[in-house]
Structure 1
């Protein structure tokens, strides 16, 4: 491994606007910005912008030292030997200073008040690297020249490996690393980050997310933010996202969009997915039908426990919940219900008809939200089936779908946990675990 030695550390604010002196003692300009290339985990400084109206750069290799008087070059300045800003480079100050970035480690949006750089030596070569950004008030005071007032306050740094600028101007290597770090964030954290961004920042950030991350994050957002996100996407991507979302959530979003926009997105969706969403959109806003999802586990009544488990493996990835398994006949008429636990502990060859409970709590799609909440609360259910007049299953309403109706100010996870605990204490109505 190469031996890396730190020769010096400094802040961008300490160099900004400092004079630049060549080896002959001539002042050839001032440091207006630093060019950077993200070639490794630590971004490398490649050049110095020495004049506002001249795009050329002084190569960083020309710098011999710096002190209170400015930067000192190790050669005679020759404008003919300066270099341009390349496509894979960007200006540190213009790109980061005073800009909002994502702190990937803290899952928050912060503002850059200063930039920490190091002068390092490795294999007999010297480099200037971006080490971290200062997001604390001390960085702001440093730029104002009054840092001495806050010497008792610690600096607040975010390492360069944990920053994601909201303006997409990084190398493919950096983008790959950022995407890997984003995959490790919880969808709720991603949703919170998006909520803090302005319209343009949200559009740029969405490009960093893959489809599943976008879907998971959308599920954590308020409806108005979901609508805004879908509206910002091009129609092809928006339709793909809506296809993969739970049908009830997609229906909620499309119901708010204009009729023309909604119809265009439905047209681009796969026909089966679009049909499910259209069915849900027909219900009035305050009815059970508007809360339900069509993604549930329906198992044929003639299956054995072992066959049902194999079928469950196939169906589970698309289901909203697998706590309850609904037993249906050829016409999708609801015959019974059993819990996942009951299925797993049953003897392999036991028919579902012997395992299922036939006393079922169920509701009509036309009852109001208050009735739905009352039934789920009364029986301690995690989900309730919605059926038509012929007892055919139209969908289910999960406890998550009524959380905000019951307790809008409490965290979703907290309410869900309490209802699960309550459910275990009060197994009733043929839904015992």
Structure 2
């Protein structure tokens, strides 16, 4: 097997609208576009569109050379021998040029200013492949014919293996690799990408995500975007996603919808999930109840440390946080609290009632946001329990909820305050 050899490199913009000449020197058209068979690994050009109103293609095998004067064919042109665009092909200029794509490596939305292609030889076969897209301003200047003004500025490329186009193609095109790469993105990155899209793109892109990806991404979005996305979905999918989202976020979203839409989605949700959300929706916006989540870990006081760890394994996937564990009786009355660290280092047979702290900082669901913020800050807590007049646990408010309240536009990264609180908790701190 011979090694892969690069015979020539060029940009789509350098060939666009160039004349095409056959072996007899006859001009038979211009290069209007290139057909490509896309697999996101080694996408190959399959043909040249030579007429604006004729979808037929000149097979790429007919092209023997190109330069600034145009393209030359190795045969006499015969329209009867041209080929149609196949189901697994698409036009790269129409599909990619000036379009937004997802840079899977950089986790961002970018615009394609030009397309880089290579003419390569392998095992005595020659073919043209799409190598990368140019997303830099130099690519734009190249198309305008004034690239020389930016000759000292580097090109900015995204390799074909990292491209996730947004616009739909034919159904037979394979997206397996792209979907796998999307799974590697952090939900916050997907959320940022979606928020940069326009209305139509958001809907189409969300449809391409599986349910868990959609849930994780929605959880990271701003409220107005969440509301827009839920409004765009069909009601069955919207209700399924709301069921899996944190109850407090689902309540916030439903609170922004029309009463009729909100009631219909609640009706479609599982009764237990819907009940949790309805409970949260009853609180005014400026109260602690509007900030809390019902997804916390409550453990019976009679459990031993070993039994509690087993129970924690079962409950943890549904909990907002597990750094604090709340000890309750049969009526969900709050008896005490302990940290995850204290539970892990305890002797297996030690009952929780001997580990828990009974002096507990707690708040009412009707306390205002200022009081919640003061308590979280004063004690350096990761979370604070919310209880009713009978001391029954209704939910918890996490430090992230408070930070979002104070800094709604903060980056979606773990805050300095949260890191400090986690270090404090790791050293044995608790909500005392």
Tell me if the contact between 2:138 and 2:155 (Cα under 8 Å) persists in the aligned partners: yes
Q: What 5-or-longer segments of structure 1 have no aligned partner?
A: none
> CA–CA distance in 2 between the matches of 1:332 and 1:50?
75
Offset from partner CA, 1:99-120 (integer Å, 9 cap, x none): 1111111122211111110111
Deviations 1:30-50 (A, max 9, x none): 110000111461211111111
CA contact (8 A) 2:339 2:430 kept: no
Query: 1:416 maps to which residue?
Result: 418
User: In structure 2, do the counterparts of structure 1 residues 340 and 423 end up closer, same or farther at CA, with 3 Å as the change threshold?
Assistant: closer
- What does 1:30-45 align with in structure 2 at a 5 Å threshold? 30-39=30-39, 41-45=41-45
Query: Which 10-residue stretch deviates more, 390-399 or 186-195?
Result: 186-195
| 1:327, distance to aligned residue in structure 2 (A) | 0.9
Rounded to whole Å, the distance in 1 between the matches of 2:174 and 2:135 is 21
Residues 339 and 425, structure 2, Cα contact 8 Å, conserved in 1: no
Cross-structure match for 1:378: 378
Match of 1:315 in 2: 315
- CA distance in 1: counterparts of 2:406 and 2:202, whole angstroms: 31
Quote the Cα distance in structure 1 between the aligned partners of 2:312 and 2:172: 41
Tell whether 2:121 aligns with 1:121.
yes
The number of residue pairs the alignment matches comes to: 430
Alignment of 1:60-79 (within 5 A): 60-79=60-79
SS of the equivalent of 2:9 reads strand
Instruction: Spell out, residue by residue over 1:192-230, the C-alpha distance to the aligned partner (whole angstroms, 9 max, x if none).
Output: 111211111111221232222222222222111111111
Q: Tell me the secondary structure at the aligned position of residue 86 of structure 2.
A: coil
Instruction: List per-residue Cα deviations over 1:153-182 (Å, max 9, x = no partner).
Output: 221111111111111226766521111111
Structure 1: how far apart are the matches of 2:406 and 2:210? 33
Task: Return 5+ residue gaps in structure 2 as ranges.
Answer: none
Q: Distance in 2 between matches of 1:246 and 1:416?
A: 19
Q: Does 1:230 align with 2:230?
A: yes
Structure-2 residue corresponding to 1:109: 109
Contact 2:342-2:428 within 8 A present in 1 as well: no
Q: Classify 1:425/1:371 alpha carbon distance in 2 versus 1 (closer, same or farther; 3 Å).
A: farther
How far apart, in 1, do the equivalents of 2:267 and 2:392 lie? 27
Maintained 8 Å contact 1:37/1:171: no
Q: 2:184 aligned with 1:200, yes or no? A: no
Equivalent in the alignment of 2:279: 279
Contact kept? 1:65, 1:71, Cα under 8 Å: yes
Residues 353-381 of structure 1 show CA distances to partners (whole Å, capped at 9, x for unaligned) of: 11111111111111111111111112221
Question: Structure 2 length as normaliser, TM-score?
Answer: 0.95
Return closer, same or farther for 1:78/1:93 CA change in 2, 3 Å cut-off: same
Aligned 8 A contact 2:339 2:429 in 1: no
RMSD: 1.8
- Relative to structure 2, which stretch is displaced further, 288-297 or 410-419? 410-419
- Deviations 1:377-433 (Å, cap 9, x if unpaired)? 122211111111111111111111111333445445223224434666894653xxx
User: What is the CA–CA distance in structure 2 between the aligned matches of 1:312 and 1:429, rounded to whole Å?
Assistant: 19
